[in-house]
């Protein structure tokens, strides 16, 4: 599987980890596979209401940036959580 993913990435196809933070996704994938984009699971958007949740999302976004990955927080539907997610920088 790794060889196929590397071939796809080398051919210019952007690979993403979908629903990061739920189910079988693992932080280990971030450094071992050639992904360029991280989509955070929508339950993490709901956690933006609490200080602890904001800290978790902030660190995940910081980690994705450190790995030169773009990131999306799924499930943001209003401006308030969107501003909170943007404010981590």
Q: What is the pLDDT of residues 14-48, one digit of tens each?
A: 988 787 766 655 677 777 788 889 888 888 888 88
79 is catalytic: no
Of the pLDDT bands very low, low, confident and very high (cuts 50, 70, 90), residue 13 is very high
CATH number at residue 50: 3.20.20.450
Single pTM value for the model? 0.69
What's the structural domain count of the chain?
1
pLDDT number for residue 38? 87
Domain that holds residue 24: 2-86
Counting residues of the chain whose pLDDT is more than 70, the rounded percentage is 91
Q: Which of 6, 41, 65, 74 is catalytic?
A: 74
Mean pLDDT (the chain) is 82
3-state SS, residue 14:
coil
CA–CA dist 65, 45 (Å, integer): 18
């Amino acid at each position: 599987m790794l060889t196929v993913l590397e071939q796809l990435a080398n051919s210019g196809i952007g690979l993403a980890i979908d629903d990061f933070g739920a189910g079988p996704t693992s932080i280990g994938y971030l450094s071992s596979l050639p992904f360029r984009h991280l989509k955070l699971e929508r339950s993490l958007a709901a956690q933006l209401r609490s200080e602890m949740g904001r800290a978790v999302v902030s660190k995940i976004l910081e980690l994705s940036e450190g790995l030169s990955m773009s990131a999306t927080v799924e499930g943001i539907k209003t401006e308030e959580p969107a501003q909170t997610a943007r404010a981590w920088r």
